[in-house]
Structure 1
Amino acid sequence: MARVAIIIPTFNEAGNLGRSLRHLKGLDPPAFEVWVVDGGSQDETVAIAQAASVQILECDRKGRSVQMNEGAKAAKADILCFLHADTWVPDDLIAVIEHTLTDPKIACGGFIALMSGKQTTRWGISLHNYLKTYYAPLLFKPHLFFKGLRLLFGDQVMFCRRSDFWECGGFDEALPIMEDGDLCLRLVKKGRIYQVNRVVQSSDRRVARWGSLKATAIYLYIGILWGLGVPAAYLKRFYEDIR
């Protein structure tokens, strides 16, 4: 049986981390290790992680790419699974990951993210995000689409073999945004990017702040510009941190 490490980058995630870690405690089979990699939180994030008895790594530099790479370096498992602190997974997560990667032609996998809040489910945006996994590479990288490229994003809980991750260079630490899509572009050289037909639940806090129309417009704008090669540093201006 392959060993799976779950790596969670955090920064001021006290409002969500406890729930995520409670879900992870119910995994059957369990993860081999769970790492919370904190980028200098000023709230109770680290205390919540300590109370959950997971492994904690505190980074000198904040940034999701940096933190996820540091977690990957510390992990000992054969498979790396990158999980956002505001995303909740099914209890058979580990079994699904192991089964998916038994296919040597698959280099990376992810799930269908269903975005929801306390009293609403964002069906339209969730559907668009699902379709974007397919239409974005077809439009902007058709030669890679037919080789198996799909564009997965952090909310979709990305996972891959440790060896493939490092052979592709890990996450690009210079990218403040779209580091997940960038990794897909490199991992497809190792094999197909596969979206598992299972759902994970992700917080709608960004949509709740912006509103559905504004959020959809921003997602489309960023996606199109990124597909056309606009630098991620410019795109980050439109994607504020929301806690």
Structure 2
Amino acid sequence: MSSLSIIIPTLNEEKCLGLTLWSLNLLKPSPMEIIVVDGGSEDDTINIAENYDITLITSPTKGRAFQMNDGAKLAKGDYLCFVHADTLVPHDLVTIIEKTLHNEDIAGGGFISLMKGSKNTRWGTSLHNYLKTYYAPFLFRPYLFFFKGLRLLFGDQVIFCRRSDFWQCGGFDANLPIMEDADLCLRLVAYGRICLLNRVVESSDRRVAKLGSLKANIIYLWIGILWGLGVSADYLKKFYAEIR
């Protein structure tokens, strides 16, 4: 039996959630459980989730980090995998993660994120996101990059780790409205390497489609630089509006 718990934070995700849950229910082998943690959706998200064989809870506090921690508290699996509601994963996700974490030198990992829409594949943005996994820790945390195996992963890369390590390092920082995923990597690396697997997940291009490629990539780059320099996440959130 699988030891993987999949956790999905949601907030007004009626456009994407159905396809994501449908694809997760086709995984072979199946995960131990799929937990959807809603942050107070006002659209049809809850009704969509209830149509699938998943565990659905409502978080008392809206916020991705808070919601993912709530899901992790409920999870029974030895391994945790955090999937955004607009992301599609490989059919053998469970096997990939369990095989990777069988290596005790690895504390966690993620996938190459390919940003796609109904009409476009955002190759440039996807390439930048791939490179950012490496250049961000190289520039801002070189010691951890070279000697500890740090890679900075972001939510659309489907972060996974051991449940024990997740709680030992404190889980997601619920006080962070943004960059909670990169922050987790910084603390998780104390328990082993963070790896980027040579497998692809597909994420919605809705932010790039709304803002335009140039503006979106400038915002991504600007946020990354300021975060690396220690600027507070509350300030950075001003540049990262919610887009559904």
Encode CA deviations 1:76-116: one digit per residue, 9 max, x unaligned: 11000000000001110000001111110000110000000
Encode CA deviations 1:141-185: one digit per residue, 9 max, x unaligned: 000001100000000000000000000000000000000000000
CA contact (8 A) 2:2 2:30 kept: no
Instruction: Measure the CA separation in 2 of the matches of 1:134 and 1:149.
Output: 8
**Alignment match, 1:217:** 218
Instruction: Measure the CA separation in 2 of the matches of 1:2 and 1:209.
Output: 38
SS at match of 1:91: coil
The number of residue pairs the alignment matches comes to 243
Normalization by structure 1: what TM-score? 0.99
Unaligned 5+ residue runs, structure 2? none
Equivalent residue letter for 1:13? E
**Alignment match, 1:233:** 234
Equivalent residue letter for 2:179? M
Equivalent residue letter for 1:206? R
Runs (4 or more) in structure 1 with deviation over 2 Å come to: none
Instruction: Measure the CA separation in 2 of the matches of 1:169 and 1:98.
Output: 22
Q: How far off its partner does 1:53 sit?
A: 2.3
SS at match of 1:114: strand
**Alignment match, 2:16:** 16
CA contact (8 A) 1:2 1:78 kept: no
Q: How does 1:43-58 map to 2 (within 5 A)?
A: 43-58=43-58
Worse-matched range after superposition: 44-53 or 178-187: 44-53
Q: How far off its partner does 1:33 sit?
A: 0.2
Aligned-residue Cα RMSD (Å) equals: 0.6
Q: How far off its partner does 1:60 sit?
A: 1.3
Q: Percent identity?
A: 65
SS at match of 2:130: helix
Instruction: Measure the CA separation in 2 of the matches of 1:137 and 1:44.
Output: 39
